[in-house]
Structure 1
Amino acid sequence: MSRHLEVGERAVGTEALHGGSTAEMRRLTIGTRDGGTRDLVLRSFVDPFHVERAEDWLDREAGALTLLAGTGVPAPALVAVDPAAAHCEYPSLLMTHLAGRTVLDDEGLETRVPLLARQLVAIHAVPPGERPRGYVALTTADTVVVPKGADAAVWAAAIDVIRRPAPPYEGRFLHRDFQPGNVLFDVAPSGSAGARITGVVDWAATSWGPADLDVAHCSTNLALLHGPAWGQRFAEAYEEAGGVLAAATSERLYWRVRDALACSEEVRLVARPWREAGRAELTTRAVEERLDTYVTALMDALG
């Protein structure tokens, strides 16, 4: 890290950042020549499962941060990357620190959802200098985990939806994990009335694919965090913000259901960081029940 600091700068403090599920994050306080400080963030993949995939993820994140510089999308600036751990103990990426914090509370959601939608429209408008790799589906019809007590017929019908070939689509630059946990807000002390987005983080899964897929992913997360109705509301907000989704209802259903069913395989992993962030009521079982309700709502509305 020291090789990438300005002359006369040095690290004077570190602080662990919490809330991530795939990497260790540290805020590094850098002492500057004039006696002040600035912050950087070090992102390191330490778990063996993630270390195996880190080179691809960090290459993609470094490419995305380079591409986004100057676009108006509030992403960190790349400082340095060591995807193969040639210099660091673990594969790591060093970037600038962004102000703001994630907000996962129900309060103020009516204000934040349109902001999230407008931000995602702006991300999809970014013209990629070099097209990233195609999206990965993340689930198959044979790996879906049906929640206990779910309506077997509804879930069987939903699984049949993703047995079909993927619909044709116009490709877009995708974040691929755009959801409240990866968006930073500056929220007024009195609540969310004056909220604004200060940053979008975790660009390691950037891909090329349909806008519907990013919208579906954020919709699923909102449905599980705040209630199934918010999953439907986000898609509406995306179109209200100028975003374009698939014209056919069957195509919208395909992408929306595909992401929801992918979440069925990792409910425990999804719920844990939310509880650690203060949403203690979001037990694995509670999130499973919301997922079941959301899938049923999708099949009722679009199926």
Structure 2
Amino acid sequence: MALPHHGYRATKPRARAAPPSGDPLLFEDTSAGVPPMNSQNYYESGYNIGGGAAAGGGQGAGGVNTLFTDPMANAAMMYGSSLANQGKDMVNKEISRFMSVNKLKYFFAVDTKYVMKKLMLLMFPYTHQDWEVRYHRDTPLTPRHDVNAPDLYIPNGMAIEVLGLCASTALVWVVIEVLVMLLSLYLLTVHTDLSTFDLVAYSGYKYVGMIFTVLCGLLFGSDGYYVALAWSSCSLMFFIVRSLKMKILSSLSADSMGAGASAKPRFRLYITVASAAFQPIIIYWLTAHLVR
């Protein structure tokens, strides 16, 4: 009787393990033994499960996170950004120093009335009396308000016509002339308020005489060319001397003291006359072959 009773008790636990629905159990339910998942360490634990390769990936991700949380790395990035901004400011400052947009706009502040007056002044400067550039609160008036102010509108417009005739030779000579002028003023320590744009403007006014000379040569032959050359050369020389006189020869107070002060006015006069005398030479050299 003991054996049948023992067999009944052995089959009873298997009856309790079956699911209530009576369906066969395909997979073992192990969810009760899984610890709760830590969402913050999911990626780190996931990369470490796969062994060495996955661990290396986890270290790379951790290295990127460490780069952004390391105070030394942040300080280095901020210092590099500061240096870049300082370099950009220095470059902009140097560009503004040599080529200021506001200064360049000043030389193109013209109107039709000014252009007509300036062209007449370039061709007939002998009757003009007042050559002084006018100022308003230590700032020179714009060309449209003062016919004596230098501009770049007329030289630029005439240069387009001249470059079509003389290629780039005329532009090269203007650059050389301005550089020689700046070097002469520097070597002779002549203090003046002439800027580089002023010198470019005064040097570029020769284009007006060049266009006038070439047109007369094409219309009236060689005789008309030489007459126009003589007239435009004399007018331009007179204009350059009277204009530069107000810029170079008038400001003697800054150089009135010290050694060699007596030679400064003579040097200023030499520079002014040489700059004026160079104009007819370059006009003839650039235009003579065009009317032959």
Name the TM tier (shorter chain).
under 0.3
Q: Relative to total residues, which structure has the larger helix share, 1 or 2?
A: 2
- When normalised by structure 1's length, the TM-score is 0.25
- When normalised by structure 2's length, the TM-score is 0.26
Give the number of the structure with larger relative contact order, counting CA–CA contacts within 8 Å between residues 6 or more apart.
1
